[in-house]
Amino acid sequence: MRILAYHVQPYEEKAFLKWSKENNIEVVLEKGLLTLDSVEKAKGFDGVTTQQVIPVKDEEIFKKLKEYGVGQISSRTAGVDMFGLDMAKEYGIAITNVPRYSPNAIAELAVSHAMHLLRNVKRIEKAMSVGDFSWNKDLISREIRSCTVGIVGTGRIGLTAGTLFKGLGANIIGYDKFRNPDADGVLEYKDTLEELLKEADIISLHLPLVDDTYHLINKDNIKIMKDDAIVVNTGRGALVNIDDIIEALESGKLAGAGLDVLECETLYVNQKVGLEKIKGTVVEKLMGMDNVVLTGHFAFFTETAVDNLVSISLDNIKKSIETGKLHNCTNM
């Protein structure tokens, strides 16, 4: 069995080599994306994997893969919106994914952002950088055990975040369209989002981006939040209306925002774009605010998560070829 891995990043190489050695299967690492120009490289391989946001929606790609006898594209991602799923189905190419690779990776960054903001770390660093080490009354902070954390979306990541916050002593409440039976003993469910927003000191978002979650947090419901609430978003950028968040941060309604994702993030995520590219954008604005912690979609980026993404995607290919059954298949 031979596998071709497209768009391999330097941080993934170690995980590929480890899996290849452990399974005694040849995996050829290719830096380039899976495109119409590069699909021919898949000739002679039994399976392919890729990890890319650039769309794979060209009919010719699926046609060629079928011709080469490759029946599956194993994506090293949770989401598969970059693939033309209907087209893949038409040509009998299964698209498989890694739905769960490390909820802790994302949940830990949510906790970290919340704690940073709660303890005024950015403000303290800023004052210290100009030689002001005083215990300014504006820098006194709340302790997490005196806070109520509202988890919006209590699936894999949300429930893990709730468990971690609870371990630090916070009171946890949750809201979800479909309640998670495993949440018993971790959080108390609220019947509506509004109820949660009224009671939470820290609001942590862990929802998928779908039609009814687009700009879920906006000026209409920010006004019902507690004064000095903190909003943490490690879900998807467009879960919040960022202009409304900025307005609330500037007016003092919100005490802070911890943002790993932004609606405009394709502008900069995983690229060395330079500061000129973000000049005058919301990204520059947020980076300059001392009540904002901004990271460029780094929540998933841990050794454990990358190792799992690589090994589970390769396992999906191996199991499919060995058993003739598809694993984590999203379109068949």
Q: CB-wise, 58 or 194, nearer to ligand NAI?
A: 194
- Give me the active site residues, please: 236, 265, 297
Of the residues 244, 260, 307, 315, which one makes contact with ligand NAI according to CB under 6 A? 260
Short-list 319, 327, 323, 264, CA closest to 294? 264
Q: CB-wise, 150 or 153, nearer to ligand NAI?
A: 153
293 touches ligand NAI (CB under 6 A) = no
Two tokens, residue 141: 């902070």
Segment interacting with ligand NAI (CB under 6 A) among 29-37, 51-59, 112-120, 231-239: 231-239
Give the angle subtended at the CA of 278 by the CAs of 244 and 210, to the nearest 5°. 45
Contacts with ligand NAI, 147-186, as mask; x by CB under 6 A: ------xxxxxx-----------------xxx-x------
d(CA 232, CA 234): 7
d(CA 234, CA 299): 7
Residue with tokens 């690229």: 271
Segment interacting with ligand NAI (CB under 6 A) among 46-54, 60-68, 85-93, 208-216: 208-216
Residue nearest to ligand NAI (CB): 155
Q: What are phi and psi of 79, to 5 degrees?
A: -85, 150
234 touches ligand NAI (CB under 6 A) = yes
List alpha helices for the chain, DSSP H. Answer: 13-23, 59-68, 85-90, 103-118, 121-129, 156-167, 193-199, 219-222, 242-251, 282-287, 303-323
Of the residues 300, 307, 311, 313, which one makes contact with ligand NAI according to CB under 6 A? 300
Pairing relationship of beta strands 148-152 and 202-205 according to DSSP bridges: parallel
Q: CB-wise, 43 or 179, nearer to ligand NAI?
A: 179
- Show contacts with ligand NAI in window 85-114 (CB under 6 A): 106
307 touches ligand NAI (CB under 6 A) = no
Of the residues 225, 248, 261, 310, which one makes contact with ligand NAI according to CB under 6 A? 261
d(CA 213, CA 28): 40
Q: CB-wise, 16 or 101, nearer to ligand NAI?
A: 101
Size of the site for ligand NAI (CB under 6 A): 26
Does residue 180 sit in helix, strand or coil?
A: coil
Two tokens, residue 146: 């005196």
Of the residues 190, 226, 297, 327, which one makes contact with ligand NAI according to CB under 6 A? 297
Residues 6+ apart with CB under 8 A from 290: 122, 123, 126
Tell the smallest beta-carbon distance from residue 308 to ligand NAI (Å). Answer: 12
d(CA 110, CA 35): 35
Tell the smallest beta-carbon distance from residue 17 to ligand NAI (Å). Answer: 24
CB 243 within 8 A of CB 219: no
Q: CB-wise, 38 or 221, nearer to ligand NAI?
A: 221
Q: CB-wise, 27 or 232, nearer to ligand NAI?
A: 232
Q: Which residues bind ligand NAI (CB under 6 A)?
A: 78, 106, 153-158, 176-178, 180, 206-209, 212-213, 234-236, 260-261, 297, 299-300
